[in-house]
Structure 1
Amino acid sequence: MATNSSDLLVMTTTHDDETRARALAAAVVRARLAACAQVYPIRSVYWWEGEVQDTAEWRVDFKTRAELADALTGFVNDNHAYDTPELIAVPVVAGSPGYLEWVRAETAGGR
């Protein structure tokens, strides 16, 4: 797992509804803005509208190329139910060479 891959990111968002989280994940992958999206339940505690919130959410992690970050951000903003959806990017610093190449190949057609 020594392959450096500063050109790849894992971008994360959350959603309050599993069905909508899965639909967003599928739409992003279909648009070739991510090679893969993982959807799983989490618990979020955060400050919102003057008080601490504690809610069940669905986290979506997108595996993508760094050059698609702006397009993916716009797509999520345009297709998300939240007024201010979370979207953060974490660089992939290393990984399995075959998997990293697969991510690059599957997102080659992205905007």
Structure 2
Amino acid sequence: MAEFCLVMTTCPNQQEADQITAALLKQQLAACIQQQAVSSHYVWQGKLEQSSEILLLIKTTGHCYPALEAEIRKLHSYDTPEIIQLPIEAGFADYLQWVKDSCR
């Protein structure tokens, strides 16, 4: 498990994105979360779909990932939300220390 990671998830609207963002930060499961409007294209249940979503880029630690995933699953309205963990193999040491200090 990587010490630091970036977690990506998408939300159907700004309200849900803000709710998940606030919960993760209040519980110290993430140090920083960026939100960005995206247009998602995918196949769901055999049909080509397109939707406007809010992408969350969540900076956290590998240690916090299980609880972070559980919290997203609890708050997310999708049956099968995108929750992807990408390891951070290197980064500015001061920033990574801040991430570590910010997460429980």
TM norm. shorter chain > 0.5? yes
| Residue among 38, 43, 62 paired with 2:34 | 38
The answer for the alignment partner of 2:51 in structure 1 is: 55
In the alignment, is residue 74 of structure 1 matched against residue 84 of structure 2? Answer: no
Q: Deviations over 1:37-91 (max 9, x none)?
A: 1111011101112201011100001100001111111110011111111100001
Runs (4+) of structure 1 exceeding 4 A deviation are: none
Q: CA deviation at 1:19?
A: 1.8
Match of 2:90 among 89, 94, 98: 94
Structure 2 Cα separation of the partners of residues 49 and 84 of structure 1:
12
In 2, distance between residues paired with 1:65 and 1:39? 19
Query: How many aligned residue pairs are there?
Result: 103
Distance 1:42 1:56 in 2: 6
Runs of at least 5 residues in structure 2 that lack an aligned partner in the other structure: none
- Match 1:16 to one of 12, 21, 24: 12
- Distance in 1 between the 2:43 and 2:66 partners? 26
| Structure 2 counterpart SS, 1:32 | coil
Specify every segment of 5 or more residues in structure 1 that has no aligned partner in the other structure, as ranges.
1-5
